[in-house]
Amino acid sequence: MTTARDDILTKLRARVRGPQERPPVWESNRPFDDLAAQFVQELNTIKGEAFHVESLGAALEKLGALLAELDAKQIAANDETPLNDLDLAGRWPDRVWFITDKTEGDLRAFCAAADVGITGVDAALAETGSLVVTSGPGKSRMVSLLPPVHIALVPVSRLTNDIFTYMAAQGHQTPDTMPANRVIITGPSKSGDIEQILALGMHGPKRCIAILYDD
């Protein structure tokens, strides 16, 4: 004697489909002549701040100028490319630094009180002026989320056309190869009330700054 549950399961099993062909890779239909110029334009349009400089050395000079402008005393930074080769604490020893997975202590508490968070990026999307960041060893999402100012160092080689092109380039990822967290940051945190008044920094950094450099 079969039950209603058995009948339902039998019908579901009969509907199970076999392996399906994967769809073709999506190709962008919005080519840009200059990815760097497009990225800078889009990020500045959405209340972010983008600067394009000629080298990593120039990017560090710009970073130092920004830290001075912000009077940043406590700074959290991820231990990722290119930051892991720069000895940030040695360059600016008069500031208090917390480097992800390198500095002992409570990263969450430090980020909540920090003036600036500094990260690299996995990619930068020219179409929308977005930054793609992931979490993993040496990379904490709290660094880009909790401080009121997020500064990203972005090599030109990480620029890509759009989110579809970026994801297509990742290929087929398994749970073992996918990052625990992938975030697309499009400008500073924004919120609008019923009167449609835009407020920045309501749920994350009030300033989102990208220093794009030729590598």
14 in a structural domain: no
124 in a structural domain: yes
> Token pair of 114, please?
């920090």
In this prediction, residue 88 carries a pLDDT of 95
Q: CA 44 to CA 95: how far, in whole Å?
A: 28
Into how many domains does the chain fold?
Answer: 1
7 in a structural domain: no
Nearest to 55 by CA among 138, 155, 126: 155
Left (φ > 0), alpha (ψ -120 to 50) or beta: where does 201 sit? left
pLDDT at 69 over 70: yes
**Partners of 159 in beta bridges:** 124
90 in a structural domain: yes
pLDDT at 158 over 80: yes
21 in a structural domain: no
- State the chain's mean pLDDT as an integer: 91
- Kindly report, residue by residue over 92-126, the tens digit of the pLDDT: 999 999 999 999 999 999 999 999 999 999 999 99
Strand segments, DSSP code E, in the chain are 49-53, 74-77, 96-99, 116-119, 123-125, 130-134, 149-155, 159-160, 182-185, 190-192, 198-200, 207-213
Give the domain range for residue 141. Answer: 33-213
CATH number for 59: 3.40.50.10420
132 in a structural domain: yes
123 in a structural domain: yes
CB-count burial class (<10 Å; 0-12, 13-18, 19+) for 12 = exposed
Confidence of residue 3 (pLDDT cuts 50, 70, 90): confident
